[in-house]
Amino acid sequence: MLDALLALHRAGIVNRDTPKYLFPETLIFNEGWLLRLVLKEWLARSESSGFSFLPFPEGVTAYSEGQLYTPFRARFRGDKLAEAHTHVDGIVGDFTVIDTKSGIVLKSDFRYIAAFEAKLYAPIDRGVTNAPWYDQVSRAAACLINSILLARPRGSYVGHLVVLYAADNHRIEPNLYTKDYVERQITRRVDGFLKSGEPSEAVAGFERGWREVLHHNLQIHFHPWDEALEYIGSRDLQGFYIDCKRANG
């Protein structure tokens, strides 16, 4: 995969003295492709590491740009509290893909699920149209929890939400995103729906179990790309990361 991307990049150079390209370099050198390459390496490894979400269990599925269903979907046309489903940059675990080839549905006997958000120099996104204070980490956590609750798991399981980012991206503050912080964000979102007076079976079902999942079954991690690449130990992948930083810095 990496060789094919680099070959495509070389083929796109039309002036080698003062490089000009047939397409923007960021179509190749971006956090999405970096994550796919890292996940591919992690899937091939079974040894322990410093990452508590690794190694991936045998037989899991990996998918890019999967869609996790929100509990805060529209109850009627023009619902001013609603939001669209969220797309995570990567997801690994026991699930199937439905709807428009991107909807993620966890299997009822799932044991492992990990959602990944990939950043280079962008900040954590703040808000959705109808809740500008509701940040990307809390939203991804809520949608992952909702997916877990909808699966009605029959046994023990573990869930992970992993944010990978450039170590010199000072706009990301990992220490902010504690379980208590995420709980406050989701609580405010739930309360907005419940206090509106309009019925919502999705939110009512979510309300019955989301705190237990958050505090007992979900782990939230922030790791710099540098740590991931050091564990993998690939010079080619390290070079790709340097190019991603150059193209996006």
pLDDT digits (tens, 9 = 90+) for 129-150: 888 999 999 999 999 999 999 9
**DSSP string computed for 20-75:** -BSS-GGGTSSHHHHHHHHHHHHHT--S--S-TT-SPPTT-EEEEEEEEPPS---S
Contact in structure between 133 and 191 (CB atoms under 8 Å): no
Dist CA 181 CA 135 (whole Å): 11
Dist CA 188 CA 137 (whole Å): 15
Q: Which DSSP letter does residue 83 get?
A: -
Peptide bond into 123 cis (omega under 30): no
**Cα 147 to chain center, whole Å?**
13
pLDDT at residue 72 in the model: 95
Predicted structure pTM score: 0.92
Bin 197: left if φ > 0, else alpha if -120 < ψ < 50, else beta: left
Contact in structure between 177 and 184 (CB atoms under 8 Å): no
At 20-40, the pLDDT tens digits run 667 778 888 999 999 999 999
Each residue's pLDDT, cut to its tens digit, for the chain (249 residues) gives 887 777 766 766 656 666 666 777 888 899 999 999 999 999 999 888 889 999 999 999 999 999 999 999 999 998 999 999 999 999 999 999 987 678 999 999 999 999 999 999 999 998 788 889 999 999 999 999 999 999 999 899 999 999 999 999 999 999 999 999 999 999 999 999 999 888 889 999 999 999 999 999 999 999 999 999 999 999 999 999 999 999 998
pLDDT at residue 145 in the model: 98
pLDDT at residue 5 in the model: 72
